[in-house]
Amino acid sequence: MIITPEIIGYVAATLTTASFLPQAILTIKTKDTESLSLSMYSLFTAGVFFWLLYGVYISDKAIIFANSITLVLAASILFFKIYNVLFKNG
């Protein structure tokens, strides 16, 4: 088996996305965001958006793949966090 850069990119994408999944699932399920940091998730979501944009610019499938999934997850968490801050004090 030849290990191409593409395979390494997808291994990287799978690992970092998988590491983020448990938090995303927990937050989407419980909608509890009290112990999450608004500034951290704002920076992270914006960063993932720019990584996705970067992937599109340089036409890199692994980067587009990883950051599309992570953006949906991170944006969902951020949405719940902002909603809770605005309407439920946390």
Under rule CB under 8 A, residue 37 binds a second copy: yes
Sorted by sequence, the CB contacts under 8 Å of residue 3 that are 6+ apart come out as none
For a second copy, the binding residues in 55-74 under the rule CB under 8 A are 57-58, 60, 62
Q: Tell me which residues in 16-35 interact with a second copy (CB under 8 A).
A: 16-20, 22-23
Which residue has 């980067």 as its token pair?
63
Q: Distance of CA 67 to CAs 17, 61, 83, Å?
A: 8, 10, 23
- Interacting residues toward a second copy by CB under 8 A: 5, 8-9, 11-20, 22-23, 37, 39-41, 43-44, 46-51, 53-54, 57-58, 60, 62
